[in-house]
Structure 1
């Protein structure tokens, strides 16, 4: 920020001195302003003042001269070198002509008044360049401010428990395994796991979502989020630079300061371009002198060529867009690990999406309850039996059924003789209507084997069609029976994640081909694909984890592939893909393997990461086109190529203005990225399971 203040201060001084120079030159006459007689009648004294003021402008902008001259000495001229050469040429020529007039002409006052001097041009060139530098610094500042704002969110102290006593320590003193306290309103100092207490936590610093998240024992809290209500006791799991928030700040910093391939190409072109401009300037001077024009006119054309050329626009075209894109991404929970990641993501042609946890929630829920009798009493009895059997299982389907039954407050039954039949189901003994019965839960084949005679016939006739329908809908049915006959069916399904449908539609609008890869069975996969509008041929099911990377490798033969996933089994495919995109709620392994990390647990953020990258690339291409087109027109005009035929000519002052406007255009064009809008999704009112069934 101090650099920006220095540039602003120097710009103000340069602008004031330049205005005075214009006033002392032709400005007072053009604007019909009063002019002191002592200056009007003493041209030599006026000349000395103009030289001194010009030297002051040069001194104020000495950093530019130091850098520009140093680059020339080291044979690596840059944009600053062109400005310095042009400004020095204007100043030295004007001073030399003035000195010669004073020495060799008796009536010096009259001759000096007729001579073409460029003191004002020298000052204006430096002032306009300072304006461009300030705008460039402001653009950089917006990114660095975003990083600073992120860093400032981190608390400086933590409240830890030592020997049962609360003790406030600096954040650097907290170690993994320490127990820390969170009181209402406190920022979370480090990543940790809640050991006791419940609360609501504002995680907007990480996810961008303003809605608080309810927390309870066993759940994770992240550094720089805010505890809103309850009293929590937590155990530190990650500290310092290892916290999720610190990694986010580092990613934003790395991607902002990194150099994308397109930026490197622009820099190489710019280096050649600068040398070519210097040579062209010399040639311009020689040609006009050979054509019989005076030294003043020829030098003016050479200076104009130096000044009008704008390698700054060329060299800024990519970096300022990359900085802006990275900063905008971080504001929306999209973290590009490198500048190259930001560039490559927008070139995606094919997106491969993992199903479970990415397109779906990864948490199965009960969708259907079919009992032998349709009344509530029999449904609740079925749920009680289901809970009694499934409560002893750790399977996700069993957990979904138990969670649902708990919400319905069904009576709890005691079981004995519990037995699990691997790959088929479970059975146990319990008391129904005062009598002992054996009850079963499991697959269709397991129940069919468990029921005998007439009971099996009833099962086939009454439930087979219903079960087939559930399977066709992508649901997982669990059948329940007793030794007296069928009890019913409870189906569960992994819900499609909010925003997944809008994300798939948005990808299609971007002309991106979507494939879904999953280890789930064919019927379930095709059902989910159909709901999301993914073509049947693009649904690849029953895929082993090690096979995902091979599928991605094969797809790369037809276009640039982005893999989106969240689990350990997605990591190899994320690495193989041209761009790996990890859902932020996923595993550390997946996040480490990815090129882009999405803080929000939403596929829509993946779409936005591609859209933002595309917008950034579009801005870069626009900037490069402008830089080349501007120079293609500006340099011939400055050199005087159209002077004899059409009388078109640009003097050094106009060239300086044009050069700075070119840089300003590139910078402001890149800053348009800050108006980026994320993809909107329709938020459905959540309905409880009891309302659905």
Structure 2
């Protein structure tokens, strides 16, 4: 039977366990073959046989406690979730929590102040059942699915503290109220949820930024006229006119004209690529100085750019949702605590027949098990770790990345703009005639004055003076010619020089040497009546390696991290850079559609590396649009802050200063933060493992239980704050 693939959005998911419940509900439907739910894009993809209807799938999602929404625009790749969670609930909650926190801050100074009990009840009720209503809804959905999550734990713990306080208030015991516990816990969790929504929004921006590269209109030749059409109306075999400086709207082949195109979005290569008759052009790249007529070969979903967008989304979907340690524990912890509290109530009530005392013992169990420390264990360490990293120029946009980065054992680098400066520099000048180097540079600069070509800028940056040039003519894809002091000069490629029958001094060895290093070579020649066209000088251009690159690679090797170059540049240029930096592996001439596959291959290889750490991960470092699929496919994507917005949106970590040494720093702060998380979880459970049995056996009253709970919170927060003493490895050198 023919299979059908359905796509729809799922709203109101908050964590990985929500994804799991939605997938579980969909898989129960007869005829469903495969299910993938992407938390970042809030998009569900379901493969099923023809008997399954979309309405049936959406109804199953709604029944599971979530909201399914149809996709009305077929070209939408990701749900528009630009509207981030409102800050107002956070602000209100913080303001309402201040009066509860203030007495604890004033106590060390001998100031004893407390809000009236009735006012505590009013404020706590607003926070508990107003601002905290979402935790009850999410917790109810988890319980209904016979599962447990952090929201359910928060709802139970805060309800226990609130309920005990209300009971104490009713019996007139106003000295033992625990409203501050419920208010502060809900406030902190709300802040964490808001930060999560920001991280999720960053994930979708990669796709949005890629989509923005596709021009909305194209100039199509129809007979003797040129008509501007929406890109959706352009068909295969249409002839599209592309003017100088315009972004190319379609994939196609050049049928007329000559130019050079900036294809750095595809290859990462900073040098323009010549385009002449029958050359292939790609949608989203930028046309240079010439007018091109292009016959369309692919549009919309079949274009290279659309496939890159699809790969980014697919790579995000392939990332297995990482179940938070706390969420996993909560699934077991919640029913166990409820069972212990119930046993405590029944045992004490049955033995002593004092059901009021039995209730207090049971509530003490719930209070000591309140998830304050458990809830703070991970986020406090992450917040401190990300804050410290940010101050050192490491922007970690995803808390999951900070937890995952410590397992990195392989780092793959793009070359251009990442390991290198990203723009050509004039690094070699060989003079063949009697002119001096300054004279040669002056001649070349006069021919390039005002040009925006990268090689021209490299020459102009070195020249100390200019000559007066006339009749400057650009020869698309070859070079430039001009008249200076009544002599004709030519500046351009080796191929062009040969077509001019230029006379070469014996320089083949030099050409071979520079070619082996991956240099781009140009020649300056002069028309001499007696000798024809004579070569005056050879120019060698290179994308220079960043000064800190070698030390950065050494720092990674010291952390037992393997280094790989993954680049679209030619093999010779890649090998030269790899040798200079002592990289472990080189993969060159890779197209964007292959980069993600190489990352998957590296992930498999990293599992075979012998190490005491069994969870091996691969990071990708890049700066260009062409790196976006690989950044999304990698376990951790690291973007250079000096690169494109697309790369930064696709990555989980951005190096704001563009300093490669920060990669080792990022791994180091991740390892330290992860250790703090484990230590915090130990302290959180230490108090529970000691306190719960004591409470169940009646050795702890709710007041002492509350104090122990507060102490556990202080322990994890204080331990997390120790991360502020971290010093970046790059600054310690």
TM-score of the two chains, using structure 1 as the length reference: 0.57
**Contact kept in structure 2, 1:380 and 1:410, CA below 8 Å:** no
Give the match for residue 270 of structure 1.
330
Give the match for residue 8 of structure 1.
98
Per the TM alignment, residue 465 of structure 1 is displaced from its structure 2 partner at its CA by 4.1
**Contact kept in structure 1, 2:360 and 2:702, CA below 8 Å:** yes
Task: Tell me, in whole angstroms, the C-alpha distance in 1 between the residues paired with 2:404 and 2:578.
Answer: 27
1:548–1:289: structure 2 CA closer, same or farther, 3 Å change rule? closer
How do residues 583-662 of structure 1 correspond to structure 2 at under 5 angstroms? 583-605=640-662, 608-640=665-697, 649-662=699-712
**Contact kept in structure 1, 2:93 and 2:187, CA below 8 Å:** no
Q: Deviations over 1:591-611 (max 9, x none)?
A: 444444454444445555555
Task: Tell me, in whole angstroms, the C-alpha distance in 1 between the residues paired with 2:687 and 2:468.
Answer: 80
Per the TM alignment, residue 11 of structure 1 is displaced from its structure 2 partner at its CA by 4.9
Q: 2:494 aligns with which of 426, 433, 443?
A: 443
**Contact kept in structure 1, 2:127 and 2:183, CA below 8 Å:** no
Give the match for residue 523 of structure 1.
572
**Contact kept in structure 2, 1:4 and 1:134, CA below 8 Å:** no
User: Secondary structure at the residue paired with 2:423?
Assistant: strand
Q: 2:373 aligns with which of 313, 328, 338?
A: 313
Per the TM alignment, residue 505 of structure 1 is displaced from its structure 2 partner at its CA by 3.4
Task: Tell me, in whole angstroms, the C-alpha distance in 2 between the residues paired with 1:439 and 1:264.
Answer: 64
Q: 1:582 aligns with which of 636, 639, 643?
A: 639
**Contact kept in structure 2, 1:369 and 1:491, CA below 8 Å:** yes
Task: Tell me, in whole angstroms, the C-alpha distance in 1 between the residues paired with 2:96 and 2:591.
Answer: 60
Task: Tell me, in whole angstroms, the C-alpha distance in 1 between the residues paired with 2:620 and 2:558.
Answer: 18
**Contact kept in structure 2, 1:325 and 1:616, CA below 8 Å:** yes
Q: Does residue 387 of structure 1 match 2:445? A: yes
User: Secondary structure at the residue paired with 2:98?
Assistant: helix
Give the match for residue 147 of structure 2.
none
RMSD of the alignment, in Å? 5.1
Moved more, 503-512 or 396-405: 503-512
Task: Tell me, in whole angstroms, the C-alpha distance in 1 between the residues paired with 2:106 and 2:701.
Answer: 22
Give the match for residue 629 of structure 2.
572
Q: 1:80 aligns with which of 158, 164, 172?
A: 158
Q: 1:539 aligns with which of 563, 586, 589?
A: 586
Per the TM alignment, residue 503 of structure 1 is displaced from its structure 2 partner at its CA by 3.4
Q: Does residue 680 of structure 1 match 2:730? A: yes
1:394–1:57: structure 2 CA closer, same or farther, 3 Å change rule? closer
Task: Tell me, in whole angstroms, the C-alpha distance in 2 between the residues paired with 1:126 and 1:513.
Answer: 52
Task: Tell me, in whole angstroms, the C-alpha distance in 2 between the residues paired with 1:379 and 1:361.
Answer: 25
Give the match for residue 420 of structure 2.
360
**Contact kept in structure 2, 1:348 and 1:512, CA below 8 Å:** yes
User: Secondary structure at the residue paired with 1:123?
Assistant: coil
Q: 2:178 aligns with which of 120, 126, 132?
A: 126
Per the TM alignment, residue 143 of structure 1 is displaced from its structure 2 partner at its CA by 8.0
Give the match for residue 553 of structure 1.
600
Task: Tell me, in whole angstroms, the C-alpha distance in 2 between the residues paired with 1:394 and 1:63.
Answer: 62
Give the match for residue 246 of structure 1.
none
Task: Tell me, in whole angstroms, the C-alpha distance in 2 between the residues paired with 1:337 and 1:63.
Answer: 32
State the structure with more CA Rg.
Answer: 1
**Contact kept in structure 2, 1:4 and 1:138, CA below 8 Å:** no
Task: Tell me, in whole angstroms, the C-alpha distance in 1 between the residues paired with 2:649 and 2:119.
Answer: 54
TM-score of the two chains, using structure 2 as the length reference: 0.54
Task: Tell me, in whole angstroms, the C-alpha distance in 1 between the residues paired with 2:395 and 2:122.
Answer: 43
Q: Identify, as 1 or 2, the structure richer in helix.
A: 1
Give the match for residue 409 of structure 1.
465
Task: Tell me, in whole angstroms, the C-alpha distance in 2 between the residues paired with 1:394 and 1:530.
Answer: 32
How do residues 135-154 of structure 1 correspond to structure 2 at under 5 angstroms? 136=188
Q: Deviations over 1:571-597 (max 9, x none)?
A: 333343334333343334434444444
Task: Tell me, in whole angstroms, the C-alpha distance in 2 between the residues paired with 1:442 and 1:65.
Answer: 73
Task: Tell me, in whole angstroms, the C-alpha distance in 2 between the residues paired with 1:315 and 1:137.
Answer: 8
Per the TM alignment, residue 81 of structure 1 is displaced from its structure 2 partner at its CA by 2.5
**Contact kept in structure 2, 1:566 and 1:587, CA below 8 Å:** yes
**Contact kept in structure 2, 1:132 and 1:663, CA below 8 Å:** no
**Contact kept in structure 2, 1:529 and 1:539, CA below 8 Å:** yes
Per the TM alignment, residue 658 of structure 1 is displaced from its structure 2 partner at its CA by 1.2
Moved more, 565-574 or 350-359: 565-574
User: Secondary structure at the residue paired with 1:581?
Assistant: strand
**Contact kept in structure 1, 2:621 and 2:631, CA below 8 Å:** yes
**Contact kept in structure 1, 2:121 and 2:179, CA below 8 Å:** no
1:15–1:348: structure 2 CA closer, same or farther, 3 Å change rule? closer
Q: Deviations over 1:318-370 (max 9, x none)?
A: 34444555555665665555554555555444322211112222222222333
Structure 1 unaligned spans of 5+: 23-51, 96-118, 148-259, 642-648, 684-693
1:261–1:521: structure 2 CA closer, same or farther, 3 Å change rule? closer
User: Secondary structure at the residue paired with 1:78?
Assistant: helix
Task: Tell me, in whole angstroms, the C-alpha distance in 2 between the residues paired with 1:439 and 1:541.
Answer: 33
1:135–1:573: structure 2 CA closer, same or farther, 3 Å change rule? closer
User: Secondary structure at the residue paired with 1:564?
Assistant: strand
Task: Tell me, in whole angstroms, the C-alpha distance in 2 between the residues paired with 1:542 and 1:472.
Answer: 15
**Contact kept in structure 2, 1:367 and 1:493, CA below 8 Å:** yes
User: Secondary structure at the residue paired with 1:563?
Assistant: strand
Per the TM alignment, residue 636 of structure 1 is displaced from its structure 2 partner at its CA by 2.3
**Contact kept in structure 2, 1:563 and 1:579, CA below 8 Å:** yes
User: Secondary structure at the residue paired with 1:539?
Assistant: strand
Task: Tell me, in whole angstroms, the C-alpha distance in 1 between the residues paired with 2:182 and 2:711.
Answer: 12
Q: Deviations over 1:419-462 (max 9, x none)?
A: 85956x6666755xx9x57666543995699455xxx5xx33xx
Question: How many equivalent residue pairs?
Answer: 489
Task: Tell me, in whole angstroms, the C-alpha distance in 2 between the residues paired with 1:54 and 1:325.
Answer: 38
1:141–1:60: structure 2 CA closer, same or farther, 3 Å change rule? same
Q: Deviations over 1:491-544 (max 9, x none)?
A: 222222354334333433444322212233333222222333313xx1222333
**Contact kept in structure 1, 2:623 and 2:642, CA below 8 Å:** yes
Give the match for residue 644 of structure 1.
none
Q: Deviations over 1:266-320 (max 9, x none)?
A: 2464365344324313423554677779889866654543332242222333344
